[in-house]
Structure formats: C-alpha cells, structure tokens
Structure 1
Amino acid sequence: MGEPVRIRLESAGVIHTFWVPALAGKTQAIPGQTNQQWIQADAPGIYRGQCSQFCGAQHAHMAFEVVAQSRADFASWSASQAALHEPANQNASAAAGHKLFDERCAGCHAVRGTSAAGALAPDLTHLNSRRLIAAGTLSNSPTHQLDWIEHAQRIKPDAWMPSMTLTRAEAENLAAFLATLQ
C-alpha cells in the first residue's frame, strides 16, 4: 500500500487482459510473452480485478482480488504463505480424503509439504486463507468447496477442473481434508 508493485503477466493458452479498474489500466497477457504492469493502491482494501479480453466461454468468470495492506501485514502474510503444509491431527474422514486427494487430485494440484506436486491447477497449500475460490466465482466456504468438488463443470462450464465422479462420502472426505489446508 502506498508504493508501486510490479505484476508479471503470462498466459499459457489465449490472450487475457489484466484489469483492476481502481488501480490501473489494462495490460494484455499474451501466450509466449511476459508483460508487466505497475499498480499502486494508496488505501488499504480489497480491489476487484477482471479479465477484460473475451478469452473464451469462461471469460465472465475470470475475476481476482488485489489486497492492499501495510508492508508489515504483507510481510506477515507472505511468510505464512511460504510455509509448508503442516498436517493437523486428521480425523478419519480427513485422512480418507487425504488419501483420495493423493490418488485423484495431486496430478494437477500441489500442497507444499506433501507428495502432491501438480503444476496445472492452483496450489492448495493454504486454501482456507483465501476469500474466494473458482477464479472468484464462489466465496470460500466448506459448502462451496464441496459444491466445487462435485459440480465444477456446472458452476463454471469449460473450466479445467473436472466435475469429479465421486460418491457423496468420498466428496465429503475430500472436503474434510481440504478443511485442514490452513
């Protein structure tokens, strides 16, 4: 907050346009190139961003947030995000969900501090420190996490996240494991 921050912009597949209306103009993310944009928030808060380039079926669901905070608060947050996942005492449901995560989710998702090292999908190490999931489509709550696991394609058609073919008990176990990712 109160100082410029450089954002590096890269895209793997299509052209996107990074835009946080309250903080800066638009800058494109073009496959095969690295662009940059400088932003500056002069007041603490959460600023909504959006892809402003029509980039496919899920364009309207490509939102994100920029959190402006003091340098000390940022340093504290950054240190907490760098920490590896420390397994909590998992109940039977969370333990079963952890096993299922390793079998079905770790190929795409990473959880630092575990064997899950996927690079195609979001790193879930500190999933529950986030306000939103599914590219800003849902608030981050246990109910929405379970909905996303079971119905990702209904919530956000054409997202890379598939709707999982799981029993209700398996989905609940997976959600119980995700709840441990603080």
Structure 2
Amino acid sequence: MTGQVRDAVRTRRALLDAAARAVVVHGAGVSLDAVAREAGVSKGGLMHHYRSKDELMAALADDLFDQFARAVEDRIDPADTAPGRRLRAYVRATFDDLEKTQDAVEQTTLMATLSAFPEPARRAQERYRRWNRTLAEDGVDPQRILVVLRACDGASIAPLFEGPLGPEELAGTRSLLLALATGTGPLVG
C-alpha cells in the first residue's frame, strides 16, 4: 500500500470515527459541519471523501456492519464443529460488545439513529437477511435462529431503557442463548 493510499484509508477511518461520535451527540440532525468539526477538518475536506450526508451515513452504517461481521468471524471457535457454531459466535460477539457498557449504548444509539436514513436502513435490512441466510446454512433450526437473533437484538437495546445490564444478567442471558444455539431441532412442534 502506498503512502498516499494509506493516508486516504487513515483519513476515511478518522472521518467515520468522527461521524459516529457526532451522530451519537447530535442525532439524525447531525450536519456535515458538525462532523467536520469533530474530525478537525474543513467541510470541504470531509466532502472530498463523502460527497453528501447520505453518502457518509451509508458508509458509517456499512462500517458498523463490517465491524460486527468481523467480530462474529473472530469468535468462531475453530474446535467447534457442531451445527450452530456461527450462531454461537454471533451471541458471543453481541455479548462481548454489551460488556463494554458505554460502547454498547453508543453503538445502539448510533444504529437506531442511522435507521432514520433510507439507505442505511435498507442496508441494515439486507445485512439482516444475509445473516439469516448464513445462519440457516449452519445447521440450526430456523426457530432457534429467530429466537436467538431477536434476543440478541433485545439485549442490545435494553441498556437504552434499563441502564447498563449487570454482569450476572449478561452472563446468564449469554449462557441461555448459547444453549439455544447449541440445539438443532425446533423449539416447538
């Protein structure tokens, strides 16, 4: 990678990080000016990389989705060859994030805010459909996938309404969902 390309990659990373912080503070009404200020660049410098707020919000959503996908892949246990290993990795990635309390609240706030924009919302729905297809190929009954994904979603948003989840509650919920992700048959009839 040349120095110029490396600098562009670093700049885009810094801009996305600044955009995430600005969205958490300002919500859906965040302006490109606010993002530029947060990043310590001019609005023109920001727009050199992202031509519009919509483009920036879509890139930010993609970045968050990609980070989570990498987190799931990183948590696949190479020794685990049983059906549902990817679903169990999904649970571990979700709960590892939740254990970083402030990060979890900020991530949930960020994702909820991004869903107010049409393109990030569309991309989120497509990613969710992709997760469902990927997890279905892992040998687990669709009922289990449905319950585990919905429970992970609920656990992710709970800190916004309940405050931080305690370590015992997180550990208990994680264990329950990992057990659900270990069985292969349907949950009901």
More strand by share: 1
Higher relative contact order, chain-length normalized (CA < 8 Å, sep 6+): 2
Determine if the TM-score, normalized by the shorter chain, exceeds 0.5.
no
Greater C-alpha Rg: 2
More helix by share: 2
Q: TM-score, normalised by structure 1?
A: 0.30
